[in-house]
Amino acid sequence: MEIRVRQKEGMAILEVEGELDFSNVEQLQQEIQRRTEEVVEIDLQGLRFIDSSGVGMLLSQVRHLYKQGRTLRIVRIPDFIREDLDVIGFFQVLEALKTNPNA
C-alpha cells in the first residue's frame, strides 16, 4: 500500500493505493491520527483490495474524528469496493454517525 499526502485549505488528503488489509492497516491509521486538520479526506481511487480489518479501521477513525468535532471523509471509492462496503452496512453506519457521533 502507498499513501500520498496532499494538503488543501486546512484539509489533508490521503490518497491510498494498492491493498489495505490486516498487514498494513496500522500504517494508514497512524497517518490519519498524525493529521491535525479539521477535515481528513481518504481518497480510495487507487485501492485494489480492502479486507475487514481495513473497513473496521476506517469506521473507527470516522467515529474517532467525529467525537473530536472533526470529519473523516472517504471519497472516490471504486465501484467493486463500494459494493463490498454496501453489503456490510458501511454507509448506513456513516449515516448513523452523522446524526449521532456517539453511535
Partner 1 sequence: MGEVITGNGKILRAYGLEVSGCSLPAEQVGGDFFEFISCDERTVFAVIGDVMGKGFHAARLMETIRHMLRECIRINPHPLEVVRRLNRVGWDELRKCGAFATLCLLCYDGIAGRLSCVNAGHHPPLLLSDGKVKVARCRGVALGLLEDYLGSGVEEFFLADGDAVVLYTDGLVEACGPGEQRYGQERLKEIVRLQNGADADRMKQNILSDLETFTRGFSQKDDVTLVVMKVTGKAGERGGN
98 binds partner 1 (CB under 8 A): no
Q: Which of residues 15-74 bind partner 1 (CB under 8 A)?
A: 21-22, 48-49, 51-53, 55-57, 59-60
- Closest distance of CB 100 from partner 1, Å: 10
Contact criterion met (CB below 8 Å) for 1 and 31:
no
Pick the stretch among 8-16, 36-44, 66-74, 80-88 that binds partner 1 (CB under 8 A).
80-88
Report the relative pairing of strands 2-8 and 71-75 from DSSP bridges. unpaired
Contact criterion met (CB below 8 Å) for 73 and 44:
no
C-alpha pair distances (Å), 23 with each of 11, 41, 50? 27, 22, 11
**Interacting residue ranges for partner 1, rule: CB under 8 A:** 21-22, 48-49, 51-53, 55-57, 59-60, 80, 84, 87-89, 92-93, 96, 103
